[in-house]
Amino acid sequence: MDPEAPPLRLSVLDQSPVAEGSTGGQALQNTIDLARLADGLGYHRYWVAEHHGGPMLAGPSPEALVGPIAAATSGIRVGSGGVMLPHYSPFKVAETFSLLAGLFPGRIDLALGRAAGTDPLTTFALQRDRRQAAPDDFPQQLAELLAYLHRSFPADHPFARLADTLPGRPELPSPWLLGSSQQSALWAGELGLPYAFADFINADGAAIAAVYRERFQAHGHTGVAPQTAVGVWVICADTDEEARRLASSGRMAFTLLRRGSLIAVPPPEKALRFLAAEPSDGSSGRPGRRVVVGSPENVREQLEGVVESYRADEVIAVNITYEHEARRRSYELLAEVFELPPRAPSETRGERAPELPG
C-alpha cells in the first residue's frame, strides 16, 4: 500500500447471526457486546444489517438496533448497513434517523439499499398494501429521502414543509448508498453520496467502484470527493487452520441457503462433516464471492490487495461464526494486525453478554 496514503479505516458490519441451539435474543445481546468491543478496539463505524424471515440472522430492524448500540458505546460511528428502502416510507426513515442523530450527534450513519433482504414471499408480507406488488421506484424514494434531510424540495412541493419537522435537527445522519452492481455506483456518483460496495456478494466490484469515482458529482449537501468503502467477508484466527475451521459454519449455511434450506449457524464440527460429504468443486460455499480467511498476517495481505484493487478508503469486515467468542477474537486480531489505535473505554459499557451454549 502507498505509504503516503491516509491510514486505512476499519469498520464492522454485523448481521447478528443466530447459532444453532441459541436464540435470536442472545444473538442481539452478542451484537451489543461486539459493538462495545469494536468501540474499544478503535474501529471506525459499526453497521447493522437488515434481513427478514430466516432462522440464521436476527437483525430485521437496523433502526431499532442503532440506538441501543450507540448508547452502549462512546466514539464509534453507528448506523444501518443498511435500511432496505423499498420496504419503507422515505419520510418515516428520515424521521427515525433524524431522531437518532439528535440523540447521538455526529455518530449516526444511514446507509441505504435497494435489495429486499429476504425472499419474495416475505417481501410481500412486509408490504402494507398487498393488492399488488410494490413499484420498483428506488431512485424516486432515495431522492425524496435526501430532500427531507437536506431541505432540497422545490418550494411548491407538498412535502417541503415536512423537511423542517425532522426531530433531530440540526443534527443529521450521514447518508450512504450500498450496492453490489454498476447501477448503484451510478446513483451514488450522480448524487455525490459515499458508496459502500458489497464485495462479499460480488467480488468483481473493483471496476464498478471505478465507475463510481468517474461519475461522482459533488453536491452542496455532500462531500467534495468520492468516498469508497468495501464490505469484505473476513474471518481471522490465530492460525490458517483454525480460521478455515470457523469458516466451515458459514460454508454449510450458505450451501443450504442456495438450495432453499434455511438453518441457524451450525457448529464447526457438524459443518465439517457436512462439507466432507459434499462433492468437491473447489468452492468455499459462496460461489463467485471472495472470502478472506486465515491468520492475521495472511488476512492483512489479502485485505491490502482488496483495498488496492478498489482504491478503497475503508474496509467493512463482516463474518458469521458459530461461537461468539470466535467473532470477538477475529475482530481483535484484525485490529491488532492493522495496528488500530484503541479508543478510551466508555463509562456506558456494561458487562459482556453471556456465552453461547456449547
How far is residue 220 CA from its own chain's centroid? 26
pLDDT at 120: 87
pLDDT (tens digit per residue) in 105-120: 999 999 999 988 788 8
Which grid cell is 72?
452502549
d(CA 202, CA 213): 18
pTM, two decimals, is 0.91
- Which parts of the chain have pLDDT scores under 50? 282-285, 347-358
pLDDT of residue 357: 32
Residue 110: strand pairing partners: 80, 175
Spatial distance between the Cα atoms of 186 and 169, rounded to a whole number of angstroms:
29
User: Cell numbers 421506484 correspond to what residue?
Assistant: 137
Residue 284 confidence (pLDDT): 45
- CB-based contact 88:50 (threshold 8 Å): no
The CA distances from residue 353 to 36, 43, 66, 106, 349, in Å, are 10, 20, 18, 27, 11
- Residue 348 is placed in which grid cell? 456506558
Q: Which domains does the chain have, with CATH numbers?
A: 9-127+137-337 (3.20.20.30)
